[in-house]
Structure 1
């Protein structure tokens, strides 16, 4: 069965995330001959999707809520859509879409299912008892949902698959590691470091589990030591996420002068061009796109020793890896790179080479389309 005249349906919980992380894949599928459909909650991004020639289907879905009526409605809508559309491939992205899409596909007898878990999120990071209970329930639900005739689970690093294989959620032969969403090496390219004071930036949604609090702690420590480094937070708060840092807190830090919170930027390559060091002290990731982009832009990285982050940064070669939830260690790493210009620049050069070798968008697209072909 070839791609020609076959439909691939992407089921997502956020259209904006789909556009920022999956648009090149959808375009590549379209160019390969697939009819591309996208299902998810309606948002202003629909206009851009339709301008690309994709067909949009509205499926209401909350990102983190568990209201029984709403959840049942989401499942019913995707099941009905699958029965009507009969796509050759259903590609689910993120945990809720993976769960409801896979269950719906079982009942609708969808030809093939690709599930993409880009990161394991709050439930797998949190340490309290409720999170442990939810993890158990989620694993049991996924074990049922993943029983498909033609199924592949795409994960972005080599740590996460072991959790699912050991829990017998999915057999090893159905797991494929594709490292991230890829980076456009022409758009994200090296630029000379800017003159003046060293700038360390954290670019992400303003979430506690991205290590925002640890970055602020590190900034305080650097200020206490009189290390001449500007620490900048780039990104918006995320009110739909339970780990979101409140706007009042971000504003307070900014007013104190401990960090500068500059909000959202759509020009990330320009942000990196004006920085010297890129930080992401996250608690867990799939494969953070921002670090791939930072490496491609030739910037030294400081990140935490957790799944996903350590997949990108080779300690001492392309950046520095520090213990998770350790603001003091983060400060020491930033200070080292701020003071050692040659080390920082050599790491930046090697980071670009790694991005070219391992993380180009062309490589990721080819690997994903190969998964599709193998399931047809």
Structure 2
């Protein structure tokens, strides 16, 4: 039996983003070992996915060289112990340090997924140069690299990161379980908007709130919902900031919910004005699968989900007026909510169904 290690930056993502892939690989006869930093997720991962879980020493946000050397050492130690035939890594540090450790341990097949280039490539600076060189070193021996949008694929080519012997493919995001995220009826009796994301500034949260303030001056019967966790990222918004806007009625902050489906179902339009370098935002795919029209930015990853004027609207990043005008279109013409929402559902079924996405990746990795 061939053994495959799935190396992640967060244990929760193993369940939410790679759960179906892991289940299929296990069903196909592979001995799957899931690895991520959190120690207290063992029972949850093993019970829900039916595979072994191993915690690793990995700091997601820091750039401490000593800690990163400890990460490489720990991954190397785990790989030498489990002796996998294949490794599949995703997110910055797992891809870089997992790729290095896999080479040291003579892992036969090395595959990576780039789920969005992230904040580091938003501007060109010393950090960008360092990360691009680390990516180049870490992916040098990759057999396959998957990208979730053509902008990131071009970015890696422009930075000369990709080895000439590595196969690269575009994949339609992480996919979405279209049966779990079921189709819903349009909500036009009271129009509401929902932004669902980590509470960091590049997700466009400030722009969303400022646009809501402009609309709220004219309309008291429109609701602007915000759902998502606070974060340790340097660009994170504070609880004081969020609750100030919540308390004055600009937004309705809903906190964090394990099951987001009821919130999406009771929303008219989904909004993500992100200027983060996304892969393909999972939150948008969930909303599309549930039949919601989308307002998002014409930026990497986000633009892949919307045909402007068909299942929603694309707006320029950081453009508060354009965002306000897009939301106004749904307020003035509520019939667009149903029309565009149905088209979102159709796109989700045809393009982003998780089983189609996983099958494509399995074929390209030769894991059928």
Bin for the TM-score computed over the shorter chain: over 0.9
**Structure 2 partner of 1:291:** 284
Across the two proteins, how many residue pairs are aligned to each other?
365
**Structure 2 partner of 1:270:** 262
Higher mean C-alpha displacement, 56-65 vs 220-229: 220-229
Shift of 1:195: 5.5
1:159 corresponds to 2:159 = no
Distance in 1 (alpha carbons) for counterparts of 2:187 and 2:160: 50
Pairing partner for 2:64 from 63, 67, 70: 67
Shift of 1:138: 1.1
Distance in 1 (alpha carbons) for counterparts of 2:57 and 2:197: 26
SS in 1 for 2:366: helix
Q: Contact 1:165/1:171 (CA < 8 Å) preserved in 2?
A: no
Distance in 2 (alpha carbons) for counterparts of 1:185 and 1:145: 34
Pairing partner for 1:50 from 24, 46, 51: 46
1:22 corresponds to 2:14 = no
**Structure 2 partner of 1:88:** 85
Distance in 1 (alpha carbons) for counterparts of 2:281 and 2:353: 14
SS in 1 for 2:61: coil
**Structure 1 partner of 2:359:** 366
SS in 1 for 2:303: helix
Shift of 1:171: 4.5
TM-score (structure 1 length as normaliser): 0.93
User: 5+ unaligned residues in a row in structure 2: which ranges?
Assistant: none
Q: Contact 1:11/1:92 (CA < 8 Å) preserved in 2?
A: yes
**Structure 2 partner of 1:140:** 133
SS in 1 for 2:261: helix
Distance in 2 (alpha carbons) for counterparts of 1:292 and 1:372: 24
Q: Contact 1:14/1:41 (CA < 8 Å) preserved in 2?
A: yes
Deviations 1:218-260 (A, max 9, x none): 1011112337421010111112x22221111111110111111
Q: Tell me the C-alpha RMSD between the 2 structures.
A: 1.6
TM-score (structure 2 length as normaliser): 0.95
SS in 1 for 2:150: coil
Distance in 2 (alpha carbons) for counterparts of 1:246 and 1:266: 21
Distance in 2 (alpha carbons) for counterparts of 1:312 and 1:196: 26
Q: Contact 1:122/1:243 (CA < 8 Å) preserved in 2?
A: no
